[in-house]
Amino acid sequence: MSEQGEGRPQREADGEWKPRRDGGNYQRREGGGYPRRDDGERGGGWKPRRDDGERRPRREGGGYQRREGGGYPRRDGDRARSSEWKPRWDDGERRPRREGDGYQRREGGGYQRRDGDRARGSEWKPRRDGEGGYQRRDDGERGGRWKPRRDDGERRPRRDGDGYQRRDDGERRPRREGDGYQRRENSGRGPKRSWSAQAPSERQRSADPARRAAFDLLKAVSKGAYANLALPTMLTERQITGRDAAFATELAYGTIRMRGQYDAVIAKVAGRDQIDADVMDVIRLGIHQIAAMRVPDHAAVAATVAIAREAIGVGPSGFANAILRAVTEGPYEQLLAQAAPEDDDSIDTLAIRYSHPAWVVRTLRQALIGAGRDQADLKAVLAASNGQPPVTLVARPGLMTADQLAAQVEARSKQPAIRGKLAPTAVIMPRGAPGDLAAIRHGQAGVQDEGSQLVAWALAEAPVADDQGQWLDLCAGPGGKAALLGGIVRERGGHLTANEPQPHRAELVRGALKQLGDAVTVTELDAREVEGQFDRVLADVPCTGLGALRRRPEARWRHSPADLATLGPLQRDLLRAALDRARPGGVVAYTTCSPHLAETRLVVGDVLAERADAQLIEASEIELLPADAIGADGMAQLWTDRHGTDAMFLALIRRL
């Protein structure tokens, strides 16, 4: 036998054990074994054999003693070592050294944890009758996550709501490739597939600020808020800026815009239509990330489920997770094709595919025909309403030129600014937030669609004999067109009266006009109570907003055909009031941000039919208006798919 270290004997050629050095350690005696040295060293070392072949401790209470059944009992007072081998009894089973200590073999094999013992997730767990017990993970770690099989061969989680549930196709999946549970190769339950990267303890437990802001905006809009007004305030209060602010904006606006399409897909996947409103909002957010944003499927699902868990609860989050997982199973277009076949051009199918209420689809088709366009252009019009609008700025005359604004934009965005094609004051900002520009902060410029700028310029350029510079904006809130008209009339030495009957909107008007000084006056009167005679009057009347759906995405879901019963009479009254306030020879511009015939051509036609003192001016007399926007009746209708602006309607009427 080779050397084993100091204190160990070695065997010589004759088979006798000899001490390694004189006087040291152990000497063989006749009975076999070695006595301990007189110095008492090595209390836990080898023990001498007795004549019967059994080892016995050298002194009472020391070492180990073989029992008939084999194995060694622990000596009293020795340190606790619950993971060590325990002695065998006569029946061949191991038993703990004392009652309640260590592990005890059950009939199926394995060890039962003693009551009250500390949790030891890496230890072996008990077998159950007729079962294969626990499988070691591929990485060799025990981990405590394997679940026992039931009699029917299925694995089940250890407690309700924990672990993994079997999917409808009979397969179970790990949360992340290489993590959690791996199916054994011989299980016969299909190929392995990877799912979430997160084990239960690693799941995202709270929503990120940008996505949570988008969810909160959806809730606010459902209670009546306007997305374009509520979101900027929300982002500022929560200090969400830069790319996160842009992400939250696109997520919120896009989800509201495509709600109709997503609801049809959800109903197809869930097999039912009635789902809690908050849960629907969460699932819509997740689907928009999967279908329309460059967000990986696993990230979209995990982040969206975190919103549900934080804002709604664990139960609804599980339902949202199941729906979103089903959506990611195959190409989204396949699910959409099931709900809205591509070869079906019916109103209801187009309503789903382009996410518009059916009545809006029908209305836009009628508007195309009324404007002299081919109804085959309907798909292009619907698609344009779902597009993301550019950030268009307006340089307010007398305060800043368009060239100066473009220079600021280029310096801030590090990209060339794009000049407007229709309005001389329009500048498109290619990237960045408008609030970062000094011109915006100081009121020298504003954010305004080019179509809105164009109708204001059309009124300013309409021929008026002996213009005295007295202009009126009859429905001025929130102040964008009033600020542009105020800048133009200020340069011409005139004065603008901006009337807004609603106090909170009147405050917005004052904020927009504060840089114009005494060139403007803000009043808060009913339109029929405004006094005086004016050279030019703008009647930008309340409407359904169907021409600005890309900027106000909630408008399509907020209005219904029944609203026209209220809006129609109001629009006619406001046009009559505007004509009353125009002096003879003066001009009225009737505008809406809707192409709906019932809000545009029909209103103008009805009022002109009852008044002999009013006459329509041909829109072709205004050089700024594009020729393809002017109808055969002399009225102008802009289209998003053609002109890149909101679908503004304009009729110029002269007071005789």
Q: Phi then psi for 522, rounded to 5 degrees?
A: -105, 130
Give the tokens for residue 441. Answer: 């902060």
Distance, in Å, from the CA atom of 173 to the CA atom of 167, rounded to the nearest integer, reads 8
- Those residues with Cβ within 8 angstroms of residue 116's Cβ, 6 or more apart along the chain or in another chain: 100
Of 585, 650, 594, whose CA–CA distance to 622 is shortest?
Answer: 650
Around 200, how many Cα atoms within 13 Å sit in the side-chain half-sphere?
Answer: 11
CA angle at 205 for the pair 204 and 211, rounded to the nearest 5°: 75
From the list 497, 460, 457, 494, the residue with the least C-alpha distance to 475 is 497
Distance of CA 614 to the CA centre of its chain: 52
Specify whether the CB–CB gap between 453 and 490 falls below 8 A: no
| Among the listed residues 389, 355, 454, 350, the one whose alpha carbon sits nearest the alpha carbon of residue 641 | 389
* Closest among 134, 79, 127, 76 to 104, alpha carbons compared: 127
Which residue type occupies 207? A
Among the listed residues 269, 301, 476, 593, the single catalytic one is 593
Closest CA to 531 of 572, 508, 499, 502: 499
Question: Are 471 and 536 within 8 A, CB to CB?
Answer: yes
In Å, what is the CA distance from 43 to each residue of 19, 46, 56, 287, 552? 18, 9, 13, 71, 87
> Is there a catalytic annotation at residue 593?
yes
Alpha-carbon distance 438 to 412, whole Å?
10
Residue in this structure with the two tokens 């029946």, named with its chain if needed: 91
**What single letter denotes the amino acid at residue 169?**
D
Nearest CA to 183 out of 196, 172, 198, 167 is that of 172
CA 82 to chain centre: 51
SS3 607: helix
Q: Pick from 590, 637, 624: which is nearest to 373 by CA?
A: 637
Which residues are annotated as catalytic?
593
